[in-house]
C-alpha cells in the first residue's frame, strides 16, 4: 500500500514538514514581522522576570509605567515563559512551540480531510499545505498565529465528529478549541460560519433551535468576552493597547480600503498567489473548487473559505498591513488542490495527467523552496540588520536599568534586543520640551537613525536631539545613542 493511501502518509508528512521548520531555530528575532515577534517575546520574558502574572501581559515600550497592555490572550507567551523557567531564556523555545503547533495543524487538517473526503485527498492537501513558504516561515516564528491555526482546524474537526457521533467529548473539545482560537486571535470567530453549516447539516432548518448549539456558543463566547473585557480594563488603566477595538482606524472596519482594487490585488494575487501558492497552484485551486461535491459534509470547506473572505472584508487594515493575517486562507484552499491531485495523480490510469500534475507540483515545490530561502530566511541575517546592530550597541554601552526613547518608527525590537524599557516617539514630535519631559520621567538615552528623521522630513528635529551631547556610537554610523538630560534654561 502506498503512503498516499495509508496512515504512513501522515507520519511521512509530519517528518518532512518538520525539517524546514527547524531551520534557523536559534536565530535572533529578525526579518519579516520582527515587530510582532519582538512584542510576543517581550511578553514571555516579562512573565519570566516579573513573576508570571498571567492576567497582566507587559510590553517593553510602556515608558515609565509597568507596561501592562490590552492584548489578545497571552497563553502562547506564558507557555514560553514556563519553558524559560525550566530550561533557560532562549528564543528557541518560542520557535519550537510554534513548530509543534504547526505539526498539530497538519495532523488535524489531515484527519479532517480524511474523515470528510478521503485519505488520498488528505495526503495531497497536507503535502501542499506543509510546503508553502508563508506557512513554513510563520510556522517557526515567535508568534501565536500557528497556535491559532491549530486550534481552528481542531475546532472544525471535533465539531464535525460531534455532529456525526454526538459524543460529549468531541463537543467539549471543539468548544475548547474554538474558544482558544478566538482568544488567541479574535477574528477567528469567523469559524462560526463553517460550524453553523455543520450544525445545519446535522439538525436541519431547526439547528438554531437546538439547545446544544446554544450551549456551544456560550462555552465559546463566555471566555472570549471575559478575557477581552478584562484586557480593555487594562487599557483604560495604562493607556497601552494593540488596537483591538479601534474601529476604522486600526485593524478593522476600513470600508474604503476593502472596496479598492489595490487591496484585493495585493491580498489575493501578490501575496496568496505570487508569493505562496504560485500562479500554477492558484490555477489548480480554482480547478479543484469547480469539482462537484461528493457529499454535503464536503461543503464545509466552501463555507470555511467564504468565512475567510468575509474576514478579509471586515479586518481590512490588518490584512493590508500584515501578510500573516492571510495564513488561515491556506487551510481550506489547499483542500481544493488536494482534491485535484487525489483524482488525477495516478500514473496507471491517467499517465498524461499525472505527468502534467507532477511537473506542476515540482514547480510549486521549487518555487516555494526558493521563496522560503531567498525572500524569508535571508531577511533574518543579523549582518544586514541595522536595528540589531543598534540594539547591541545600546545593550553594551548603557547601564542595564537605563530607559531609552526610540525614534525608530515604533518598532519594539530595539527594546527587546537591547533588553531595555522605554518610550516610542516620532521624529516629527521632537522638541526640547518633549525631551525635557521624558528626561524628568526617567528617560536616559535617545536612540534613532538619520534615515527615519529624513523620511519624516524632520532633519531639523534631529539637531535638537544631537544638541544633547555626543553619540556613543562610532563615527560614520548613521545612527545615534545620545544621553539626554535637561538643557540649561536660557537666561
Average pLDDT over residues 340-345: 94
Report residue 250's pLDDT band, with 50, 70 and 90 as the boundaries: low
Return the closest-CA partner of residue 360 out of 131, 87, 98: 131
Residue count of the chain, please give it. 491
Higher-pLDDT residue of 440, 485: 440
* Same domain membership, residue 341 and residue 251: yes
Higher-pLDDT residue of 370, 4: 370
Reported as a single tens digit per residue, the pLDDT across 377-434 is: 888 888 888 888 899 999 999 999 999 999 998 888 999 999 999 999 999 999 999 9
pLDDT at 249 over 70: no
User: Is 429 among the domain residues?
Assistant: yes
Do 263 and 320 form a contact (C-beta atoms < 8 A)? yes
Helices within 398-488 (DSSP H only):
413-418, 432-440, 450-455, 459-466
* Same domain membership, residue 435 and residue 353: no
User: Is 478 among the domain residues?
Assistant: yes
Rounded CA separation 437/453 (Å) = 20
The residue among 333, 361, 378 that closes a domain is 378
pLDDT at 5: 63
Return the closest-CA partner of residue 337 out of 158, 152, 122, 161: 122
* Same domain membership, residue 194 and residue 112: yes
Say how many domains are in the chain: 2
* Same domain membership, residue 182 and residue 70: yes
User: Is 489 among the domain residues?
Assistant: no
**What are the grid coordinates assigned to 22, written together?**
527547524
pLDDT at 248: 59
User: Is 488 among the domain residues?
Assistant: no
pLDDT at 27: 87
pLDDT at 65 over 80: yes
Helix axes 459-466, 432-440, angle to 10 degrees: 40
Structural domain boundaries enclosing 80: 3-378
pLDDT at 476: 67
* Same domain membership, residue 333 and residue 439: no
* Same domain membership, residue 363 and residue 318: yes
* Same domain membership, residue 457 and residue 366: no
Determine the number of helices (DSSP H) and then strands (DSSP E) in the chain. Answer: 22, 4
The residues pairing with 421 across neighbouring beta strands, listed in sequence order, are 403
Reported as a single tens digit per residue, the pLDDT across 31-53 is: 888 999 999 999 999 999 999 99
pLDDT at 486: 62
The residues pairing with 479 across neighbouring beta strands, listed in sequence order, are 449
Report residue 2's pLDDT band, with 50, 70 and 90 as the boundaries: low
CA atoms within 13 A on the CB side of 295: 10
pLDDT at 359: 93
User: Is 43 among the domain residues?
Assistant: yes
* Same domain membership, residue 197 and residue 151: yes
* Same domain membership, residue 360 and residue 321: yes
* Same domain membership, residue 429 and residue 369: no
pLDDT at 62: 94
* Same domain membership, residue 17 and residue 140: yes
Report residue 490's pLDDT band, with 50, 70 and 90 as the boundaries: very low
User: Is 491 among the domain residues?
Assistant: no
Reported as a single tens digit per residue, the pLDDT across 261-282 is: 999 999 999 999 998 999 999 9
The residue among 329, 363, 378 that closes a domain is 378
The residue among 363, 378, 393 that closes a domain is 378
In percent, the amount of the chain with pLDDT more than 90 equals 74
Average pLDDT over the chain, rounded to whole?
A: 92
pLDDT at 491: 39
User: Is 337 among the domain residues?
Assistant: yes
Reported as a single tens digit per residue, the pLDDT across 206-241 is: 777 889 999 999 999 999 999 999 999 999 999 999
Report residue 477's pLDDT band, with 50, 70 and 90 as the boundaries: confident
* Same domain membership, residue 330 and residue 411: no
pLDDT at 253: 74
Average pLDDT over residues 73-87: 97
User: Is 157 among the domain residues?
Assistant: yes
Amino acid at each position: 500500500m502506498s503512503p498516499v493511501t495509508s496512515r504512513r502518509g501522515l507520519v511521512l508528512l509530519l517528518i518532512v514538514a518538520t525539517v524546514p521548520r527547524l531551520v534557523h531555530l536559534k536565530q535572533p528575532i529578525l526579518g519579516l514581522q520582527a515587530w510582532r515577534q519582538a512584542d510576543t517575546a517581550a511578553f514571555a520574558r516579562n512573565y519570566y522576570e516579573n513573576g508570571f502574572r498571567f492576567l497582566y501581559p507587559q510590553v517593553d515600550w510602556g515608558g515609565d509605567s509597568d507596561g501592562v497592555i490590552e492584548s489578545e490572550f497571552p497563553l502562547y507567551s506564558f507557555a514560553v515563559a514556563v519553558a524559560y523557567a525550566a530550561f533557560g531564556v532562549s528564543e528557541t523555545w518560542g520557535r519550537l512551540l510554534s513548530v509543534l503547533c504547526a505539526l498539530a495543524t497538519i495532523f488535524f487538517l489531515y484527519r479532517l480531510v480524511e474523515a470528510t473526503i478521503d485519505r488520498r485527498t488528505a495526503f495531497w492537501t497536507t503535502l501542499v499545505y506543509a510546503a508553502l513558504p508563508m506557512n513554513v516561515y510563520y510556522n517557526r516564528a515567535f508568534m501565536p498565529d500557528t497556535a491559532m491555526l491549530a486550534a481552528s482546524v481542531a475546532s472544525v474537526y471535533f465539531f464535525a465528529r460531534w455532529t456525526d457521533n454526538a459524543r460529549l467529548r468531541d463537543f467539549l473539545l471543539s468548544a475548547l478549541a474554538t474558544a482558544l482560537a478566538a482568544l488567541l486571535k479574535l477574528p477567528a470567530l469567523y469559524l462560526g460560519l463553517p460550524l453553523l453549516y455543520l450544525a445545519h447539516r446535522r439538525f436541519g432548518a431547526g439547528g438554531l433551535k437546538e439547545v446544544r448549539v446554544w450551549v456551544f456558543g456560550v462555552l465559546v463566547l463566555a471566555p472570549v468576552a471575559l478575557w477581552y473585557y478584562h484586557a480593555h480594563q487594562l487599557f483604560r488603566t495604562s493607556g497601552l493597547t494593540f488596537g483591538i477595538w479601534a474601529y476604522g482606524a486600526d485593524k478593522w472596519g476600513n470600508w474604503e480600503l476593502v472596496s479598492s482594487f489595490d487591496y484585493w490585488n495585493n491580498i489575493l494575487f501578490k501575496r496568496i498567489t505570487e508569493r505562496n501558492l504560485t500562479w500554477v497552484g492558484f490555477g489548480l485551486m480554482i480547478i479543484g473548487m469547480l469539482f462537484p461535491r461528493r457529499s454535503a459534509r464536503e461543503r464545509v470547506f466552501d463555507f470555511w473559505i467564504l468565512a475567510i473572505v468575509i474576514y478579509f472584508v471586515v479586518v481590512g487594515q490588518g490584512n493590508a498591513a500584515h501578510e500573516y493575517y492571510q495564513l488561515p486562507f491556506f487551510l481550506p484552499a489547499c483542500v481544493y488542490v488536494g482534491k485535484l491531485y487525489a483524482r488525477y495523480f495516478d500514473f496507471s490510469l491517467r499517465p498524461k495527467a499525472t505527468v502534467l500534475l507532477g511537473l506542476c507540483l515540482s514547480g510549486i515545490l521549487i518555487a516555494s523552496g526558493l521563496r522560503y530561502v531567498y525572500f524569508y530566511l535571508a531577511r533574518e541575517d543579523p549582518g544586514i540588520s541595522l536595528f540589531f546592530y543598534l540594539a547591541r550597541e545600546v545593550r553594551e554601552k548603557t547601564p542595564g536599568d537605563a530607559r531609552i526613547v526610540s525614534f525608530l518608527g515604533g518598532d519594539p525590537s530595539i527594546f527587546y534586543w537591547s533588553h531595555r524599557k522605554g518610550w516610542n516617539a516620532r521624529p516629527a514630535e521632537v522638541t526640547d520640551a518633549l525631551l525635557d519631559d521624558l528626561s524628568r520621567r526617567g528617560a536616559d538615552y535617545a536612540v534613532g537613525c538619520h534615515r527615519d528623521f529624513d523620511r519624516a522630513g524632520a532633519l531639523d528635529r534631529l539637531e535638537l536631539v544631537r544638541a544633547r551631547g555626543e553619540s556613543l556610537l562610532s563615527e560614520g554610523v548613521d545612527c545615534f545613542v545620545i544621553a539626554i538630560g535637561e538643557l540649561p534654561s536660557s537666561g
